[in-house]
Amino acid sequence: MTDSIINQAISAVMGMAEETGLFAPITRGPLGADAGVRMELSPGSPPTCHLDRRCEVQLSLVINAKHRDMQLVSNTLHRIHDALTRAPAYPHGDAWQITHIQTESLPELIEREPGDLWLFASALTVTLYY
């Protein structure tokens, strides 16, 4: 089964983020008990449909990361935001294209979890045309 257009776009954004050299690969879903980086779609706006039956949607992607090194986590998320919002080109597929990525929420400290893990969160808005 082929991934949906939205999941293809999210995978492409994750790939762009991983090119920045992260301390762990990005996975989908909530964070587990250990250090890592996660990206997941949060509730957002419905698509705007045009007369040609094409649509544009704003995808809100939440990025969570945690690690014992607070500075490493903060720098990792800031590096992701800088790279994605300033990219010279955005991913596209046969039937879709990302037209814009912007910071919705800068990385911020959420809490210090048991085991001395620092949890940070941030969000990006990805404009997808399909």
Domain spans, the chain: 5-129
User: Residue 10 has which token pair?
Assistant: 């999210």
Check: CB of residue 69 under 8 Å from CB of residue 58: no
- Residue 12, pLDDT above cutoff 90: yes
Q: What is the pTM of this model?
A: 0.90
Which pair of tokens denotes residue 52? 């040609």
The mean pLDDT value of the chain amounts to 93
Tell me the torsion sign for CA atoms 88, 48, 63, 102: positive
Q: State yes or no: pLDDT of 35 exceeds 80.
A: yes
pLDDT band at residue 50 under the 50/70/90 scheme = confident
How far is 79 from 115, CA to CA, in rounded Å? 25
Q: What is the pLDDT of residue 46?
A: 72
Work out the angle at residue 108's Cα, subtended by the Cα atoms of residues 107 and 113, and round it to the nearest 5 degrees: 120
Query: Could you count the other beta carbons within 10 Å of the beta carbon of residue 117?
Result: 20
pLDDT at 55 over 80: yes
Looking at residue 115, its pLDDT comes to 87
What distance in Å separates the CA atoms of residue 57 and residue 68, rounded to the nearest whole number? Answer: 36
Fold of 5-129: STM4215-like (3.30.2000)
pLDDT above 90 for 109: yes
Is the pLDDT score of 31 beyond 90? Answer: no
Residue 53 has pLDDT above 90, yes or no: no
Question: Does residue 83 have a pLDDT over 90?
Answer: yes
The mean per-residue pLDDT over the stretch 94-121 comes to 95
Give the Cα separation of 64 and 120 in Å (integer): 6
pLDDT score of 14 more than 90 = yes
pLDDT of residue 52: 79
